[in-house]
C-alpha cells in the first residue's frame, strides 16, 4: 500500500551518474596519453559459461571501450585447474602492459576464490578484494575499494546526500558488497560518518532494525525482500540486488529483480535506486575509476609524482 509521505522522492539515476563519471575519465585518459603514457589496460578473466557472469564481463569490456581503455578478455574452460589459473594470474601480475586484473566471480566449485584473490598482485587488484587492499580500506588508507560499495559512495556524493550522523542499515555481509559497504559508511569523511548496523541471515528483528534506517542498503539477493512496512518515511534506499527471475514475456526468458519492492517502497523514500539502472552502472563506473587509478599510480610514480 502506498504511503502518505509527502516529500518529493528522487530516483537515483545510476545510468546518468555513471555516464558523468565515464565522461570525466575519458578526459583523464586523454591527459594521461598526452603525457606519453599508455592508456589503462584491464584484463578480465572469465571461467566457464555462467550467463550472468558473461553479461557482467561484457558490460565491463564495453565500458573500457567507452572510456578509451585497452581491455582483454581471457576466456577459460570451466574445467581449468586451479593451478593453471593461478599460473596465468602470476603471468598477468608480471606483465608490464597490464594495469588491472579482474577474475569474474563466482568461480567453479573446484577453484578456491580465496586462493585466486590472494594471488592477484594488490597493485593490480582493481576489484579491491585482496586482503592487503581490504585491510587498507578498513584503516581508511587510499586503496582499491570494491566496485559496488565504491559505486554507491560515488552515487551518494553525486547527489550530495547527507550521511553524517545518519543511521545506515546494510542488509548482507558479503565480502564484495555488504561488509565493505558497512565499513565505508562508518568511515570518517563524506560520504560516511554514519552509525551503521549490519544485518545478515541470522539477524533477529530485521524489520524493526530496518524501520530505524535513514539509509537502507539492501544487498541480499532476494527479490522484493524489502517491503514498504520495513522502510521509514523519508529514507534513502539503495537496492543492490540483481536476481534473474523467470519471465515468459521476455525474449531472454527472465527479468532482473532488485531486493526492494520498488513500487510500494519508492513513494516513502527521499531517494531510491531503481533496478536496473541504479547500482549496476555505478559498479562498472567505479571499476573503471579503480583501473584508471592502478594505471595512473604506476606511471605517475615512475615519473616521481604521487596521486595518493
At closest approach, how far in Å is the CB of 216 from ligand NAD?
12
| Among 76, 129, 77, residue whose Cα is nearest residue 100 | 129
Closer to ligand NAD by CB, 98 or 260: give it: 260
- How near is the Cβ of 31 to ligand NAD at its closest, in Å? 28
Residues recorded for the chain: 308
Residues with catalytic function:
60, 104, 127
Cell 544487498 sits on residue:
219
CA distances from 38 to 21, 45, 60, 97, 143 (A): 20, 21, 19, 9, 22
The site for ligand NAD (CB under 6 A) is made up of 148, 171-174, 176-178, 199-201, 203, 206, 219-222, 240-243, 279-280, 283
β-pair type (195-199, 70-76) = unpaired
User: Could you tell me the smallest distance in angstroms from the CB atom of residue 232 to ligand NAD?
Assistant: 18
- Whole-Å CA distances, 124 to 65, 114, 120, 258: 19, 16, 7, 31
Residue (of 108, 150, 141, 105) closest to 122 by Cα position: 141
Q: Judging by DSSP bridges, how do beta strands 243-246 and 254-257 pair with one another?
A: antiparallel
Q: How far is the CB of 266 from ligand NAD (least distance, A)?
A: 18
Amino acid at each position: 500500500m502506498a504511503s502518505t509521505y509527502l516529500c518529493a522522492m528522487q530516483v537515483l539515476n545510476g545510468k546518468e551518474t555513471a555516464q558523468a563519471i565515464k565522461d570525466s575519465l575519458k578526459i583523464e585518459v586523454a591527459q594521461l596519453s598526452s603525457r606519453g603514457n599508455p592508456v589503462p589496460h584491464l584484463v578480465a578473466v572469465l571461467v566457464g559459461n555462467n550467463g550472468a557472469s558473461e553479461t557482467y564481463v561484457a558490460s565491463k569490456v564495453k565500458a573500457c571501450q567507452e572510456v578509451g581503455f585497452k581491455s582483454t578478455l581471457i576466456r577459460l574452460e570451466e574445467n581449468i585447474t586451479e593451478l593453471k589459473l593461478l599460473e596465468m594470474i602470476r603471468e598477468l601480475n608480471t606483465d608490464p602492459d597490464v594495469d588491472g586484473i579482474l577474475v569474474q566471480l563466482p568461480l567453479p566449485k573446484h577453484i578456491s576464490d580465496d586462493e585466486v584473490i590472494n594471488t592477484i598482485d594488490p597493485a593490480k587488484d582493481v576489484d579491491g578484494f585482496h586482503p592487503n587492499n581490504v585491510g587498507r580500506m578498513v584503516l581508511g588508507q587510499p586503496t582499491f575499494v570494491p566496485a559496488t560499495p565504491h559505486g554507491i559512495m560515488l552515487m551518494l556524493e553525486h547527489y550530495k546526500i547527507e550521511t553524517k550522523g545518519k543511521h545506515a542499515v546494510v542488509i548482507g555481509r558479503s565480502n564484495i558488497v555488504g561488509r565493505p559497504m558497512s565499513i565505508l559508511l562508518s568511515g570518517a569523511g563524506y560520504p560516511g560518518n554514519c552509525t551503521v548496523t549490519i544485518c545478515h541471515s541470522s539477524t533477529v528483528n530485521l524489520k524493526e532494525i530496518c524501520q530505524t534506517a535513514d539509509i537502507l542498503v539492501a544487498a541480499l539477493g532476494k527479490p522484493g525482500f524489502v517491503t514498504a512496512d520495513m522502510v521509514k518515511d523519508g529514507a534513502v534506499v539503495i537496492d543492490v540486488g540483481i536476481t534473474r527471475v523467470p519471465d515468459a514475456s521476455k525474449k531472454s526468458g527472465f527479468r532482473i529483480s532488485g531486493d526492494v519492492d520498488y513500487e510500494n517502497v519508492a513513494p516513502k523514500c527521499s531517494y531510491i535506486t531503481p533496478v536496473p539502472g541504479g547500482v549496476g552502472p555505478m559498479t562498472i563506473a567505479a571499476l573503471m575509476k579503480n583501473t584508471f587509478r592502478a594505471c595512473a599510480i604506476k606511471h605517475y610514480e615512475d615519473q616521481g609524482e604521487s596521486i595518493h
